[in-house]
A and B are shown apart, each in its own frame.
Chain A
Amino acid sequence: MGVNNMTYIPTIGIEVHVELNTQNKAFSPTINKYGDAANTLVNEIDLGLPGTLPTLNKEMIDFGIKAAMALNCKINQKMYFERKNYFYPDNSKNFQITQGKTPIGYDGYITVEVDNQLVKVEIERIHLEEDTAKSIHEQDKTYLDFNRAGVPLIEIVTKPMITNSEIAIKYLEKLKEILLYLGVSDVKMEEGSMRCDANISVSKNDKLGIKTEVKNIGSIKNVGLAIDYEIERQINLLNNNEVLVEETRRFNDSNNQTIRMRIKETGNDYRYFPEPDIPYVNISDEWLSEIKATLPMLPDDIRLELANKQVNNNNIEALIGDIDALYFYLAIKNRIINPVSAINLIITDLKAYSNNLNKKIINLLQLEDFIEIANDLANKVYSKQMVKRLLEEIIINKLDITDAKAMVNQKESFNIEEIVVNILNNNFEAINDYKAGKDRALKYLMGQVMKETKGVADAVEVQKVMLDKLSKL
């Protein structure tokens, strides 16, 4: 097994279809929504009625440009659409409007990290096209729902240069993250707004082997499993001197194997030609600049920036993994003195409130107020515990910040020095223990001060004063 496996090099290409969450469909003004009753989100264009013509959704093009830019692609600034002709019940015109010779983006890449090494996954093309109707199969009939027909898709195709399942998985995770952050799709594989197909072949030399297409894989994890299974299956067959045929297979998630669906027909003749009903789209440099200005910061750039600001890894990932928290941070980041403590507040305190009250973080309190509080914390105007109290007054009791501060300050109008002296005067035994070298005594004394101030005093400040007084005794 081992020696032969070593000589086979796998080649993997990944194709991803992503549904764009534009307001309307790609080539008709029908509302683009998921989940309505069958065949209610359709008009005569979606059903391919005689005499109908496609229109064009500019928002789809904007989203396409965004995605192409975020994936480091070159943009085809003079593009047109094409017809892909084939008969199928979910295809209401028996042709699909797509792009062939002029994909909106091409020659792009995503960088992923595998085993502490950076790997550049090359993207051959990304193009715009329309989705088909949904089919439900029951016995010998198929039931068609055209709500999905005409929904805009981008198809993202890598070059066939991925060499193992781990890279494939990292690629898909990163792709999903980027598209989610761009706001162009909700990329949910469970709902079908992100679909992956993998093309896998193995070869002992430079020439590409016979490839298998694996479709309908329900999760990113399963893509990895499907790839691993396929590589092994193909190698076994080749080692037994069997001839591979180009075929389409599907992934069976009950045993993690792939099963043949059909052999690829030669001459899948789609007769592509330019769509005569949709004029050229000329994407000017101005248009590109407009879109570029709307690009949000992408996750990897955020990671770098936060690492440079000394935010620890766990917190970075926690922030990035939560869009709600991240968008909140991005909205305030330029006015925060200390990102470390601010982020801490966001992912612990604010997140907790968000979960308990079932509200988005942005709706918990004003940005201005949070900025003020976070900076107060950074400047030590308030202690951490006081900040927690402030947040409670503002978020739960809905006080405005001035009133909240007044409320909290009231409880803070004590003199640390006074209290420390008081405690010391009542705890001679502890003082002696401390002088005898028992650290526990200090802790005890600290505890007494904190108790007295109901836990609100700044522990660091208290300790400073305490040690100072003790040293003079």
Chain B
Amino acid sequence: MTNYLTLSIEEINKLLINQKIKPIDLVNEAFEKIEKSDLNAFITLNKEEAVKLAKELENQPVDNLFFGIPIAIKDNIVTKGLLTTAASKMLADFNPPYDATVIKKIKEAKMIIIGKTNMDEFAMGSTGETSYYGPTLNPYNKSKIPGGSSSGSAVAVSANLVPLAIGSDTGGSVRQPSALTGIVGMKPTYGRVSRYGLIAFASSLDQIGPMTKTVTENAQLLNLISGKDTKDLNSINTNDDFTKKIGCDIKGMKIAIPDFYMGDVTAPVIKEKILEIIEFLKNNGVVVESVKIPFIEHSIHLYQVIALGEASSNLARFDGIRYGYLSDNYNDLNGLYENTRSEGFGDEVKRRIMIGSYILSSENADKYYYRALKIRNLIKKSFENIFNNYDLIIGPTTTDVAYDLGLFQNDTIKGFYDDIFVTPVNLAGLPALSLPVGKSLDNLPIGLQIISKAMDEVTIYQLASYIEQNFNGGK
């Protein structure tokens, strides 16, 4: 079996240009590896179309960096003609009649979509275990969670089944599985990447993000998928080249570490690694200081109120009438709704819909939801104040390394505490990246989170690349 997919996309691109390999070689390698893999990273494979496209591309000039490169897509991003299930029984047979905007960009660049990756159902979860199609396994240790909800995308890249993938991040769903599987995952500034075609979980928090092995590839993929889209009114204009500052020196940077990130909830193994990094940065001319971020400790509650409130509304459309799963067990319209939704949705999804519905009901909306929106504004401002004095914020991505499968099922609220470091970023709409910086003694990956002010992914990539190239803390 060949091993081209472990190379960087620049290297693969050179091989294609020099005709040392053809796109079909990459496609065949991907499917061979996937078929041999027991990690359950994919829900649907796009074999026929991928092979067909690879053959067509043979006669075309290699006109851009991504030409012919295989990519995996999280299964909550709509792909025309290719089943899109959101890992739910509710959409098990859903064949979309349109492409998400990011998919259009990926197709325009002549990338080859290998398949749709496994995930927590409707992106609700952070362990990969709520999927209708069974859990995805962590390639570093198959008894541990890979993280979620972009579990399949993270694992597909981590296990070198594909060189690149895209996932979605609402409360850490790109960064957390990236940290637990040792890859680079970026959640861009809210609005950077069009959400048109991303099956909505929480509209004001969701973002699509690139998941790759290296920082440079991550920035390159972000270049490809970002851009203003009139179909997503919250998307923003972007003319950045995210690779711009990769390779630049970091001397003179000022970096903040929030106390919040280094308290008792953080496992010692993680703390140790962060302290090593701080040492490394200081030795490289960077100022690193502790800061307090007002209101950040309320993120978990705010996140629940806002995310679940929005989700309960976003998931109301699933009733089997216009598409999707329809129960065969009803006598009247009300029965149709209740049975379809109760049979079609998994337990975690139902739990979140219930919580979200409760939060928005009667006086609760004014009491909790509107208040949450105001406090959210305060958190955003808290971060902005930090960035008036610092270039970046760093800290751990997760509170611990990957834990055992089966540990935290059915306890929705406890699950949110796993994401305590990542959710504030979504609330504030800021960009953040998780960078693999080492392993625990059990060889489980540890991720460093780097956060910047809005629209400043370029600086994140600058620091991330520097650490990636120069920090040798047991990678």
Contacts and interface: CB of A to CB of B under 8 A. Distances in A.
A376 B222 CA distance: 74
A413 B323 CA distance: 81
B309 interface: yes
Interface in A138-177: 144
A51 B196 contact: yes
Interface stretch (B49-57, B135-143, B355-363): B355-363
Interface in B223-253: 230-234
Nearest to A27: B233
Interface string A39-62: 000001001111111111000000
Given A48-B317, A55-B231, A85-B313, A273 B360 contact: yes
Nearest to B85: A50
Contacts of A89: 321, 333
Nearest to B203: A276
Interface in B162-214: 195-200, 203-204
A93 B199 CA distance: 13
B233 A56 contact: yes
A336 interface: no
A259 to B, nearest CB: 22
A273 B199 CA distance: 20
Nearest to A144: B321
B344 to A, nearest CB: 13
A47 B98 CA distance: 12
Nearest to A271: B360
Interface in A34-93: 44, 47-56, 83, 85, 87, 89, 92-93
A92 B317 contact: yes
Interface stretch (B89-97, B107-115, B459-467): B89-97
A279 B361 contact: no
Assign chain A's interface to a size class: 20 to 34
B233 A269 contact: no
Nearest to B98: A44
B84 A277 contact: no
Given A85-B313, A93-B316, A274 B199 contact: no
A272 interface: yes
B319 interface: yes
A409 interface: no
A95 B313 contact: yes
Contact of B200 (A44, A51, A92, A279): A51
B307 to A, nearest CB: 11
Contact of B94 (A47, A50, A276): A50
Interface in A251-298: 267, 269, 271-274, 276-279
Given A49-B97, A50-B199, A50-B317, A85 B360 contact: yes
A286 to B, nearest CB: 22
B455 interface: no
A94 interface: yes
Contact of B316 (A94, A272, A274, A279): A94
Contact of B78 (A47, A50, A83): A50
B105 to A, nearest CB: 15
Interface of B: 76-78, 84, 86, 91, 94, 96-98, 100, 195-200, 203-204, 230-234, 309-310, 312-313, 316-319, 321-324, 333, 337, 357, 360-362, 365, 369-370, 373
Per CB-CB distance, the 8 closest pairs between chain A and chain B, nearest first, are A271-B360, A94-B316, A276-B203, A276-B204, A51-B78, A51-B197, A50-B199, A48-B317
25 contacts: A48-B322, A49-B322, A50-B78, A50-B84, A50-B91, A50-B324, A51-B96, A51-B198, A52-B196, A53-B196, A53-B231, A54-B233, A55-B231, A55-B233, A92-B317, A144-B321, A267-B362, A269-B362, A271-B360, A271-B365, A273-B310, A274-B373, A276-B204, A277-B233, A279-B234
